[in-house]
């Protein structure tokens, strides 16, 4: 059956700006259909919206699917599905019908497909029910449903519980969707199909693509596990890979801060088998938002399995950072080798950096959108008697932000210059000094108005 399951999940959906998370890659493969006999039920939509070319293209795709399984089971298109595998046809509109039972005759299966006519509503629940009833619970064969539909449920019970009950019995469900004239609920297909969605659901807006989709699925179902597997993962540039755990099968190597390679010699060759790899990434970007975890992920093996992985995202919450004061621009100068002294004119120096420099950060809590904030920073120096001496005050305007909710704002690099000749300690140059800092903040933008008095005589 080749690769039957591929998945990629993250340990959390939300992190802070420099937060970390675990990423898990998972893969399942099963032996080929010759050594792993499989019962397959094709569930085909024949509702009214299938009239015309959609029905014709669906029939072509279903018969191509039957031919590929026929050849895969005994290496020839001899009209008989071999090696213990069987196939059946269920069709549905307002109700579902078992057009065949599980059989091996290719001609009978194709005749059942050719005999389908379009008309009526769409009852997915009954389709799943009729298909489930075709399987023999005592059989050791693998059990697979392939549902094709071009529209949404219009009659019958909710299909999701029926599909879930089938999956609970060990039935693998694939869904092929055609976006028909009445639309198609792709989320419903994802819900009905076996996880992960990426490897069990295929959707197209073009009926001409149906033959290729049926053929690709039949090829994957019939392939002999997977050998010489290579998975190349590149994470988004907003993240770096910090560590890789040993995979359950094969070996994994970190190529650089953003990429890794996972090699598995073979998987699912003699029996259904799974492998997983955990690695850890850390966010290094500066922007808040929903971020794709991986930039790309490429899969290859000797059997040519077509494998795709989900594309998980994570919501990154970065603090708002305000830099109220710019650092002075440096002036470059060069000193030649063996040059003992140098005289350089560095231009004008403004009186902002004499003595010691105290640089402070402060976080203003719960600043709401659209509100500017006035922030005052007050610095005092404490002498030996506990008396405070003023050393400066700064008033800063924090710009309004446009996030939908109130946020914390980090104000960085508020600088005070405290000359040595004003030391309150009374000690010598470079002696310890004690300071106190206070902050006051208030909203500039409010809806407050003075109540004007009106005297009425």
Domain count, the chain: 3
Last residue of a domain, one of 317, 338, 365: 317
- Categorize the per-residue pLDDT at 73 as very low, low, confident or very high, splitting at 50, 70 and 90: confident
Tokens of 191: 């819900």
Identify whether 60 is part of a domain: yes
Reading the block at residue 450, the tokens are 């003075």
Reply yes or no on whether the pLDDT at 209 is more than 80.
yes
User: Is residue 335 in some structural domain?
Assistant: no
Domain match, 170 and 237 both: no
- 23 and 41 Cβ atoms separated by less than 8 Å: no
In terms of domains, do 207 and 69 share one?
yes
Single residue among 190, 222, 254 that ends a domain in this structure: 222
pLDDT in tens, 412-434: 888 888 887 777 766 555 678 88
Q: What are phi and psi of 407, to 5 degrees?
A: -135, 155
Q: In what order do the strands lie in the sheet with 226-235?
A: 251-256, 259-267, 226-235, 294-300
| Parent domain of 233 | 2-31+225-317
Same domain membership, residue 55 and residue 146:
yes
Report the distance separating Cα 50 and Cα 119, nearest Å. Answer: 8
Is the same domain home to 375 and 273?
no
In a domain, 200, yes or no: yes
What CA–CA distances, in Å, run from 41 to 45, 86, 296, 436, 442? 13, 9, 34, 78, 69
Q: Which residue has the higher pLDDT, 319 or 87?
A: 87
- How far from chain centre, in Å, is Cα 332? 46
Which of these three, 264, 299, 317, is where a domain ends? 317
* Same domain, yes or no: 114 and 84: yes
Rounded Cα–Cα distance for residues 314 and 94 (Å): 41
Q: Which residue has the tokens 């603090």?
A: 319
Mapping DSSP to helix (H, G, I), strand (E, B) and coil, where does residue 158 land? coil
Q: What's the confidence (pLDDT) of residue 274?
A: 84
Q: Dump pLDDT digits (tens) for 438-453.
A: 989 999 987 766 666 5
Q: How far is 128 from 166, CA to CA, in rounded Å?
A: 8
Alpha carbons 90 and 200: distance in angstroms, whole number: 19
CATH number of the structural domain spanning residue 409: 2.60.40.3930
259 occurs within a structural domain: yes
CA dihedral 145, 149, 153, 155 (to 10 degrees): -80
Q: Is there a single domain that holds both residue 152 and residue 276?
A: no
Task: Provide the sign of the torsion angle of the four alpha carbons 253, 256, 260, 261, taken in this order.
Answer: negative
Same domain, residue pair 71 and 114: yes
Q: What is the pLDDT of residues 396-412, one digit of tens each?
A: 999 998 888 888 888 88
- Regarding whether 169 and 189 lie in a shared domain, the answer is yes
Indicate whether 123 belongs to any domain. yes
What's the pLDDT tens digit per position in 317-366? Answer: 887 666 676 766 776 767 776 766 667 676 665 554 456 788 888 888 88
CATH number at residue 261: 2.60.40.680
CA distances from 232 to 189, 273, 300 (A): 28, 20, 9
What is the domain-level CATH number for residue 79? 3.40.50.410
In a domain, 451, yes or no: no
Q: What is the per-residue pLDDT across 233-292, written as a single tens digit (0 to 9) for each?
A: 999 999 999 999 999 999 999 999 999 999 999 988 776 778 999 999 999 887 888 999
CA distance 24 to 361: 38
Q: Is residue 334 assigned to a domain? A: no
Residues 198 and 280 in one domain: no
What is the per-residue pLDDT for 353?
Answer: 43
- Residues 400, 361 share a domain: yes
Give domain status of residue 331, yes or no. Answer: no
Tens-digit pLDDT profile for residues 213-230: 898 888 777 766 788 999
Q: Assess whether 85 and 116 both reside in one domain.
A: yes
Do 23 and 47 have their domain in common? no
């Amino acid at each position: 059956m080749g690769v039957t399951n591929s998945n990629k999940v993250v340990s959390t959906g939300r992190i802070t700006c420099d937060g970390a998370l675990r990423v898990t890659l998972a893969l399942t493969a099963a032996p080929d259909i010759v050594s792993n006999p499989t019962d397959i039920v094709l569930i085909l939509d024949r509702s009214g919206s299938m009239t015309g070319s959609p029905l014709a293209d669906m029939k072509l795709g279903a018969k191509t699917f039957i031919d590929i399984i026929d050849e895969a089971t005994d290496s020839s298109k001899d009209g008989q599905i071999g090696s213990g595998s069987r196939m059946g046809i269920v069709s549905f509109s307002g109700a579902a019908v078992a057009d065949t039972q599980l059989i091996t005759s290719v001609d009978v299966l194709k005749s059942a497909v050719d005999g389908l006519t379009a008309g009526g509503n769409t009852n997915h629940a009954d389709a799943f029910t009729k298909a489930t009833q075709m399987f023999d619970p005592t059989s050791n064969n693998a059990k697979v449903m392939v549902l094709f539909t071009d529209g949404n449920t219009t009659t019958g019970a909710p299909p999701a519980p029926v599909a879930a009950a089938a999956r609970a019995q060990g039935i693998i469900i694939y869904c092929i969707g055609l976006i028909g004239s009445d639309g198609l609920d792709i989320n419903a297909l994802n819900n009905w199909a076996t996880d992960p969605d990426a490897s069990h659901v295929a959707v197209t807006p073009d009926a001409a693509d149906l033959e290729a989709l049926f053929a690709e699925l039949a090829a994957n179902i019939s392939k002999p596990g997977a050998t010489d597997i290579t998975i190349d993962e590149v994470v988004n540039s907003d993240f770096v890979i910090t560590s890789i755990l040993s995979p359950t099968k094969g070996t994994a190597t970190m190529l650089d801060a953003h990429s890794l390679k996972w090699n598995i010699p073979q998987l699912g060759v003699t029996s259904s088998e799974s492998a997983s790899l955990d690695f850890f990434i850390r966010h290094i970007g500066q922007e808040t938002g929903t971020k794709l975890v991986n930039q790309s992920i490429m899969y290859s093996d000797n059997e040519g399995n077509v494998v795709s992985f989900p594309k998980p995202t994570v919501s990154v919450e970065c603090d708002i950072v305000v830099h109220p004061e710019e650092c002075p621009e440096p002036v470059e100068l060069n000193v030649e080798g063996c040059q003992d002294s140098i005289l350089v004119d560095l231009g004008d120096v403004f009186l902002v950096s004499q003595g010691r420099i105290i640089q402070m950060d402060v976080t203003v809590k719960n600043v709401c959108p659209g509100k500017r904030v006035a922030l005052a920073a007050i610095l005092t120096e404490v002498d030996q008697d506990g008396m405070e001496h003023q050393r400066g005050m700064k008033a800063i305007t924090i710009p309004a932000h446009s996030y939908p909710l109130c946020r914390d704002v980090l104000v960085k690099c508020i600088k005070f210059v405290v000359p040595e000749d004003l030391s309150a300690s009374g000690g010598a140059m470079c002696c310890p000094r004690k300071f106190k800092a206070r902050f006051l903040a208030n909203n500039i933008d409010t809806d407050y108005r003075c109540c004007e008095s009106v005297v009425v005589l």
